[in-house]
Amino acid sequence: MDDIVTVSGLGKRFASGFTALRSVDLSIRRGEILALLGPNGAGKTTLISSICGLTTPTSGEIRVGGHDVVHDYRKARALVGLVPQEINLEPFEKVINTVRFSRGLFGKPRNDAYIDEVLRKLSLSDKRESKVIELSGGMKRRVLIAKALSHEPRVLFLDEPTAGVDVELRKDMWRVVRALKDDGVTVILTTHYIEEAEEMADRIAVINDGEILLVEEKAALMRRMGQKQMIIELQEDVTEVPPALAGYDLHRNDDGDLVYTYDAKADRTGITRLLSDVAAAGLTLRDLQTRQSSLEDIFVGLVGKDPA
Ligand SMILES: Nc1ncnc2c1ncn2[C@@H]1O[C@H](COP(=O)(O)OP(=O)(O)OP(=O)(O)O)[C@@H](O)[C@H]1O
């Protein structure tokens, strides 16, 4: 797969003297969904604003479709669509005019067939003539996406597309994003929600304190960094980890089960010996379960704090 966006050595220092990005390198592959994950203030918005040509970098280079975003701004900008965090729509304007106007801003000739197709894909056809003020929050977010797609970009940035929206709407948004990918659009979404990255992304980039900590295939990342937990349910009530098992990485959970954390990739997981030591300690198994650690566990391990 070739790269549609390349970011090299990108630095951004604001006039205040604050450094928001430090020598960021990132390649975005054509047709992928990349989730950019990071805690508050990590630099996510600054990075996507720089790629979209809205923030001028202090150092480094960004190319979109081979065009330099600073020196060849118009060509690079025409290839990207940006769905901002905030809903910034004209409340009394009709949906169709909002989207048409946005296309006009890019100097593209009017093309109602294309706009109608965008509205149809976003399930907005029956709101075509409605005023923005009459729409629900979820519909307004769809209009933001329609606006961002109005000039036929190949790369779509969604900045926190589901911040503060309910579960139903979030799932709805995920369906929309998947459909865009099916149409060949490259999608980059920034999110606080690990669940969102886990659900949607082909690859995950983690940014913290202005630096990219890693970029990796989601599945490989989870395999590489994932630990497993084995939950040992006992017939007996135990109030603490029995002293005979003190040598294992065990803790007691709220249900009174023993939880063993181990590296599923290790040559020796220690499970066999642990289970025989459980029996030797006079304890009887009721049930056993194992669980792969989630992306959230991995994130906390990397960044040292929760994403939100
Ligand atoms: N114009 C500006 N001047 C000075 N500092 C800024 C400016 N814009 C952003 N920052 C700072 O740069 C850092 C990165 O901000 P940015 O908005 O990129 O983070 P983020 O990862 O998108 O965070 P959030 O998840 O909270 O939106 C923050 O500490 C922010 O306060």
Give the closest residue (by CA) to ligand 1 atom 30: 41
- CATH for 200: 3.40.50.300
Q: Are 129 and 242 within one domain?
A: no
Which of 177, 199, 223 marks a domain boundary?
223
What residue numbers bound the domain in which 7 lies?
3-223
Q: Are 283 and 157 within one domain?
A: no
Per-residue pLDDT, 162: 80
- How is the chain split among helix, strand and coil, in percent rounded to 5? 35, 30, 35
Q: Do 231 and 253 form a contact (C-beta atoms < 8 A)?
A: yes
Mean pLDDT (10-residue bins), the chain, 308 residues: 92 95 96 92 93 94 96 94 90 96 91 94 93 92 93 93 78 86 93 83 93 90 78 91 90 90 81 93 93 74 66
Q: Are 49 and 191 within one domain?
A: yes
Tell whether 135 is covered by a domain. yes
Q: Do 79 and 153 form a contact (C-beta atoms < 8 A)?
A: yes
For residue 225, the CA-to-ligand 1 centroid distance in Å is 28
Q: Are 206 and 251 within one domain?
A: no
Q: Are 209 and 263 within one domain?
A: no
Between CA 149 and CA 295 the distance in angstroms is 30
Q: Is 101 in the pocket of ligand 1 (CB under 6 A)?
A: no
State pTM to two decimals.
Answer: 0.80
Closest by Cα among 65, 36, 39 to 53: 65
- 8-state DSSP, 206: E
Tally of domains within the chain? 2
Which of the listed residues 45, 50, 211 should we mutate to test ligand 1's pocket, taking the one with most ligand atoms within 8 A of CB? 45
Between CA 261 and CA 256 the distance in angstroms is 16
Q: Are 145 and 277 within one domain?
A: no
Give the closest residue (by CA) to ligand 1 atom 23: 41
Q: Which two tokens stand for residue 54?
A: 């809205």
Q: Are 60 and 142 within one domain?
A: yes
Between CA 184 and CA 290 the distance in angstroms is 37
Tell whether 299 is covered by a domain. no
Per-residue pLDDT, 306: 59
Tell whether 270 is covered by a domain. yes
Between CA 32 and CA 120 the distance in angstroms is 23
Q: Are 13 and 92 within one domain?
A: yes
Between CA 280 and CA 119 the distance in angstroms is 66
Give the closest residue (by CA) to ligand 1 atom 25: 40
Q: Is 46 in the pocket of ligand 1 (CB under 6 A)?
A: yes
Tell whether 306 is covered by a domain. no
Q: Is 18 in the pocket of ligand 1 (CB under 6 A)?
A: yes
- 8-state DSSP, 126: G
Tell whether 297 is covered by a domain. no
Strands 33-37 and 186-191, by their bridges, are parallel
Tell whether 17 is covered by a domain. yes
Tell whether 300 is covered by a domain. no
Residues contacting residue 127 through CB under 8 Å, at least 6 positions apart = 95, 119, 135, 139, 143
Q: Are 181 and 274 within one domain?
A: no
